[in-house]
Amino acid sequence: MPTIITLPGDGIGPEILAPALELLRTISEDFTFDEHAFGGAAIDIHGTALTDETLAACRKADAVLLAAVGGPKWDTTDPEAPRPEQGLLGLRKGLGLYANLRPVRPLPALYDASPLKRERIEGTDLLVVRELTGGIYFGAKTRTARSASDLCEYSVEEVDRIAHVAFDAARLRRKKVASVDKANVLETSRQWREVVHIVHRARYNDIELTDVLVDNAAMQLIARPADFDVIVTENLFGDILSDEAAMITGSIGMLPSASLGEHGDPGLFEPVHGSAPDIAGSGAANPLAMFLSAAMMLRHGLGRDADAAAVEAAVDRALDGGLRTRDLGGEATTAQATRAVIDELGRE
């Protein structure tokens, strides 16, 4: 019986996690759920965004399902004050979750919801593979009255392992990898490019590899998103580019993600969107990215491919049937969206 740690977090987090658990219970009664406070909610209770107890529970679990963290209540420029996002970084580091997978596949039913023209996004099906535990987010930080610094640092081993993840993913897709860096300026990027090419030559000659500077990648994601298959990049670039790519789908409320470590370790599954405190409590939150994150958990965390495909198909059919939450230009509430998807799941 799989044990899943649930982290509702902040803002709309509890409002979208509860429907996801209802969805999972519809699939099977075999799951055991163990809820823990996390992010700002944990700061309010424990004074820290991630307690040792929560991290220990996550390490013992089969998977971790996270909803959302953060909000203006905990925003501060005080470097000594706890922040909700520290919990997320601590969880990634503590579980060794170095590979973040963010699929971007706009559905035909939502082509007109995208700010991009239909002809630009038709056929887009890409995967952003973001290195998650290195780079500037985890480098040494300094702050004085007159200056501040953040160290961006990568080891060869960190680049090597994320490159393998990207190339292995491409083998199951269209066999194209775009490696995104800033090698014309940054030494870390020059090392990144060199290591990615070494990995490519050693084991992946069947994959087409292209180097793309990050500023050009940002432009090409808007100009020709369907040309991309797998994008692999470092932590900061991946954070920015995957949020940009989210808008191809019509709303960031549609994008799931999976954060994975070594084989056999529990993964972390969460929507890409934030905690949306402006709509928290209104019943307007879009739960679909949470549902799709649960599907990624079923596939990548629990090895239940058929169940994952069933959830994804149910979301597709609900949207084909006219489901539109407010972020997608409609009026459906969280509860109505949940009912629509679960009803479709029952028709499998």
Q: Cβ neighbours of residue 308 under 8 Å, at least 6 residues apart? A: 295, 296, 298, 299
Q: Are strands 230-233 and 141-143 parallel, antiparallel or unpaired?
A: unpaired
Q: What are the structure tokens assigned to 148, written together?
A: 């501040």
**Helices 84-95 and 52-60: angle between axes, nearest 10 degrees:** 40
Q: Which of 150, 160, 243, 343 is catalytic?
A: 243
Q: Which of 98, 137, 154, 204 is catalytic?
A: 137
Q: Which of 98, 182, 204, 327 is catalytic?
A: 182
How does pLDDT run across 65-104, given as a tens digit for each residue?
999 999 999 988 887 889 999 999 899 999 999 999 999 9
In the chain, what are the domains? 1-98+258-348 (3.40.718.10), 115-249 (3.40.718.10)
Q: Which of 181, 239, 307, 327 is catalytic?
A: 239
pLDDT band at 212 (very low <50, low <70, confident <90, very high): very high
How does pLDDT run across 239-267, given as a tens digit for each residue?
999 989 988 887 788 899 999 998 778 99
**Helices 334-345 and 305-320: angle between axes, nearest 10 degrees:** 120
Question: Is 176 known to be catalytic?
Answer: no
Q: What are the structure tokens assigned to 187, written together?
A: 């030494």
Question: Is 215 known to be catalytic?
Answer: yes
Question: Is 168 known to be catalytic?
Answer: no
User: Is the pTM value of this prediction over 0.85?
Assistant: yes
Q: Are strands 256-260 and 99-104 parallel, antiparallel or unpaired?
A: antiparallel
* 3 state SS for 82-120: CCHHHHHHHHHHHHCCCEEEEEECCCHHHHHHCCCCHHH
Mean pLDDT of the chain: 95
Question: What pLDDT was estimated at residue 189?
Answer: 98
For the chain, give the number of residues: 348
Q: Which of 44, 215, 278, 320 is catalytic?
A: 215
Q: Got the DSSP string for 17-33? A: HHHHHHHHHHH-S--EE
- Is the pLDDT score of 348 beyond 70? no
Question: What pLDDT was estimated at residue 162?
Answer: 98
pLDDT band at 301 (very low <50, low <70, confident <90, very high): very high
Alpha carbon distance 172, 346 (integer Å)? 29
Residue reference for tokens 């307007």: 284
